[in-house]
Amino acid sequence: MCGICGWIDFNRDLGGPDARRELADMTATMANRGPDDEGNWIGGPAALGHRRLAIIDIQGGRQPMTLQEDGRPDLVLVYTGETYNYRELRQRLAGQGHRFDTSSDTEVVLHAHREWGHCDPRNAVRELNGMFAYALWDTAKRELLLVRDRLGIKPLYYYPTEHGVLFGSEPKAILANSLAEPAMDADGLRRTLSFVADPHNTVFSGMHEVRPGHVVRVTCDGIQQMTYWQLTDTGHTDDVPTTVRYVRELLEDTIQRQLIADVPLCSLLSGGLDSSALTALAAHFSDRRIRSFAVDFVGYTNNFIPRPWQPTPDGPFVQEVAKYVGTDHTDITLSAHELMDPGVRAATLHARDLPLTLGDLDSSLYLLFRAIGQHSTVALSGEAADELFGGYSYFHDPAHIQRDTFPWIEDTDDFARWFLDPGLVEKLELPGYVDEQYRRALAEVPALTGPVSANPHERRMREVCHLSLTRRLPGLLDRKDRMSMALGVEVRVPYCDHRLVEYVFGTPWAYKTFDRREKSLLRAATADLLPQSVVQRVKSAYPEIQDSTYDRMLRARFTALLNDRNAAVAPLLSVDGSRALLDPTRNRRRIERILTLQDFLNDYKVSLTI
């Protein structure tokens, strides 16, 4: 896992000292993502930078990596992520006459583009099974390709300029170049204040994401987006027992692929079905004892208060799974003061680069990875299982399903009226923005075919599953990537294997609930690996601290912000914003979002134009 960045300017030779200095500044921002090595390549209009976190072929996988023809660099690659099927691809390519100098997956990607991507780069990308984001410069064609994996596990941004483009794994890399301005307009603020992953809106004006499943081609003639993968209707014909067996086969194959690493590996364990199944499979296939880690809070289990989204504490289930599976387990126990520590909160914002942090949820995740990084470099995590198998409560609540909007979203209009200046509320028109995103997302849902297509509920659940995978999951993947990579830990997400996603997405909703519960297919496929208490456990969300000390500290900070007339966010706030303090626990996420926006505007010197 690594950090990448670069600069293309078709009107300029970037070999001069000023351009080299700018590239060095961009690359330096990626130091946390790649603490093990640094490299750059400059040739004519192209300048590529790389920071490396060494996982596979520690000695031979240095970047930028070139593929030469007639003694000159032909293709130049900066790459982050993992290609899990690189060994099979390497064997196929060797059979076609390709010769390799390293045992890294990066070199395999280079040769894949030489062999299969010379006419259409998408043909090469489709051969890759993994999580990745990379930039490939073709010196002969004077063409840059920006490529992102199918689900958007690894981030990649770009910023068009007058004569080319800037790009980076994170916005901070782009903003380190003098051509980029840290600016936010009304759309950026709408994205900040809503809870929808809008692939067309990165918050920063003029900056874009490479969308999951896409290739962006940059030439002197302009920028072109190309789709190489998207969810489709597969016309599922397997019966339930066959489907359960194949889900298990896919999980076993995926876990074995993702255990490959030349550095210590661990599992994130919450005691829920998703993480417990991954941990059990990893323990079964690993040739060494698996380490597992869980986040906990001081006094959490003993003083736990059940909530609809958190009916049970993780602790007892974590301990039971760790003992049952035989992991070398560690609990990371945190306090309210640690979560509210100014240095930790600043670090989480710097890691996210965007005003989208979730307060204590991000702080606890950051501190978890800080502890993990002392023992392991790679961690397995259960993201995507809920979106894929139907784990969230909204999947099973008719009132949420029948709403003509994203079923998980809160009342954005209520949020705006509580916190924002009335004139700004009218101008932003957040409900309209969310509805526009919803209509755009619905238009991407593939039509249901076969006998189940006549069932209105099946059609609606196809929509909800697609929305969850394309508009909810990306935010969770981004959060996990940023918090882990800020501390030099690579997170692998087996449930995002595109073969598993394609297969399960295509199954009827009736299959996903055949035992009249959430995640029926996953439960049936992994029940033999786990204690019955975990198999039967009801979904419980990522833990949030329940210590009232945290809410008192949050209340004090928010009160100080409301009383600061010089605060950067002050012109945006309603004079009645203090109403949120009447119930700071219920409004915790809303208060956190405003505090984060204040820190973001300050720390990033953002020019706000509404």
- Known catalytic residues are 2
Cα 379 from chain centroid (whole Å): 14
Range 65-71 contact pairs with CB under 8 angstroms and sequence separation of 24 or more? 65/104, 65/106, 65/107, 65/110, 66/41, 66/110, 67/110, 67/111, 67/114
- DSSP for 244-307? HHHHHHHHHHHHHHHT--SS-EEEE--SSHHHHHHHHHHHHH-SSPPEEEEEEETTTTTT---B
Task: Look at the chain and count its residues.
Answer: 610
Residue 238 zone, left/alpha/beta (φ > 0; ψ -120 to 50; rest): beta
Could you give the residue ranges of the DSSP H alpha helices within 340-472? 342-352, 360-372, 385-389, 398-401, 412-419, 422-428, 430-442, 456-467
Is 250 buried (19+), middle (13-18) or exposed (0-12) by CB count in 10 A?
buried
What is each CA distance from 175 to 2, 166, 181, 371, 595, in whole angstroms? 18, 9, 7, 29, 22
Nearest CA-CA partner of 67 in 117, 137, 6, 14: 137
Cα–Cα distance for residue pair 93/98, rounded to 1 Å: 6
* CA angle, residues 292, 362, 538, in degrees to nearest 5: 60
Please say whether the beta carbons of 291 and 375 come within 8 A. yes
> From start to end of 413-557, where are the E strands?
490-492
Element (H, E) at 37: strand 37-43
Q: Are 300 and 543 in contact (CB under 8 A)?
A: yes
Terminal alpha carbon distance of the chain:
37
Kindly tell me the burial class for residue 421, based on how many C-beta atoms sit within 10 Å of its own C-beta (0-12, 13-18, 19 or more). middle
Residue 471, amino acid = R
Residue 590, C-beta contacts closer than 8 angstroms, at least 6 positions apart:
415, 418, 419, 580
Locate the DSSP E strands across 84-220. 130-138, 143-148, 157-161, 164-168, 183-184, 208-209, 214-219
What residues are paired with 266 via a beta bridge? Answer: 291, 379
- Collapsing DSSP to helix, strand or coil, 157 comes out as strand
The whole-angstrom separation of Cα 259 and Cα 278 is 11
Q: What is the DSSP letter of 35?
A: B
d(CA 186, CA 610): 5
**DSSP state for residue 468 in the 8-state scheme:** I
Partners of 9 in the β-ladder: 164
Q: What is the sign, positive or negative, of the torsion defined by CA atoms of 90, 91, 92, 95?
A: positive
